[in-house]
Amino acid sequence: MANNLDAMRKIPPGIWLIRKIRGKDWSLKTHRYMVLLVTFIAYASYHASRKPSSIVKSALDPEPNKTKNVYPWPIGSVFVKDEFFDGNKDMFGYKGWEPFNGKDGTKKLGLIDVAFLACYSLGMFGAGHLGDTLDLRLFLTSGMIGSGIFVGLFGMGYFWNIHVFGFYLVMQMVAGLFQATGWPSVVAVIGNWFGKRKRGLIMGIWNAHTSVGNITGSLIAASVLEHGWGWSFIAPGTLIAIAGILVFLFLAAYPEDIGFPCLNGPAARVEAVPRDVEAPTQNEGTVEEGKSTTIRDRSGARRSVGLLEACLIPGVIPFAFCLFFSKLVAYTFLYWLPFYLSQTEIGGEYMSVKSAGNLSTLFDVGGIVGGILAGHISDKLRARAITAASFIIC
């Protein structure tokens, strides 16, 4: 009885409700698509909640000498906005936001980014181990809601009129720890459902969540910036919290949690094909639950891989270095591109903060196209290392 209750507890409430309404379960293929969609939304919302700090930098620390010829450049349907500023005022009618508008304002903005990324990278080690021992669905949900809370609290500093640098530093540090729950969790879930399959194109499309999240976060933060920079944090923070609820309702972390065999184990070859058909729900109450329990007992014995053991796996170290330098460039653009676009004189004119945020999304548009193209090429050539190296060099 206890095992059956544990099995029922792990079925996501949304999937349980859909089963009750439909009277039968989805196929294995449909569940895979659902996992791809939910994890895509989840990690896109993670990246969307990281973008506000790059958008509001110019509002927190406006350039003192930027007092004329400030236009919503370039002209286009996305960038046209009545944002002509009076030369006697700084952006949005105020001179930045203390403590970021002093002589060391840019340095402090850099420090909160470093604090976030330092806690994010350190949190990755713990998040990976916790993800191996905890329910991935609940772990991911907690991380997303926690991220939303602390991203929103950073923005509340505007409404609470907080000018203490330590407050913003701590908010970013805690947000970084919660953000670390994202990548290890979604990758583990995808691995549970897809195993070692030919999936370059699929993963290329799925991995677009990073760029889609950056674009979404930039557009949302830029669109509400005129109402106060605090909204640029609160809106994406609310978005990731809502996405966290979606994960809680609909994400099945393991196929075994909803009655399918472990797709990476020996039973997968025998049972995956017959189970990949829609079956009446009433059968699940007897045979499926029993099968699900035994499989979960086996899955409960999964052994996590230690850091040293992981480093000894062929290819891990080289790919880690490649990812390091790739992320170095990506995060530089993520956090600083809108700031430098708005602070740089172009043809005697300056770009508005909103236009800079919108224009910075073009970098991520290229990321979407490049990721899908790389996945397709790697499938065709069956040479993933060569494909990755070629794209990094280019």
DSSP 134-192: S-HHHHHHHHHHHHHHHHHHHHHHHHTT---HHHHHHHHHHHHHHHTTHHHHHHHHHHH
User: CB–CB of 12/249 below 8 Å?
Assistant: yes
What does the CA dihedral 109, 114, 119, 124 come to, rounded to 10 degrees?
130
- Considering the chain, what percentage of its residues have pLDDT values greater than 70? 77
Residues 6+ apart with CB under 8 A from 48: 213, 214, 216, 217, 220, 236, 239, 240
Taking residues 231-246, report their average pLDDT: 97
Per-residue pLDDT tens over the stretch 94-129: 478 999 988 888 899 999 999 999 999 999 888 988
| Entry pTM | 0.78
Give domain limits for the chain: 2-60+100-393
* Angle between helical axes of 136-159 and 231-250 (0-180°, round to 10): 160
Residues 6+ apart with CB under 8 A from 290: none
Give the mean pLDDT of the chain.
79
CATH architecture of the domain 2-60+100-393 equals Up-down Bundle (1.20)
User: CB–CB of 185/209 below 8 Å?
Assistant: no
Name beta bridge partners: 350: 70
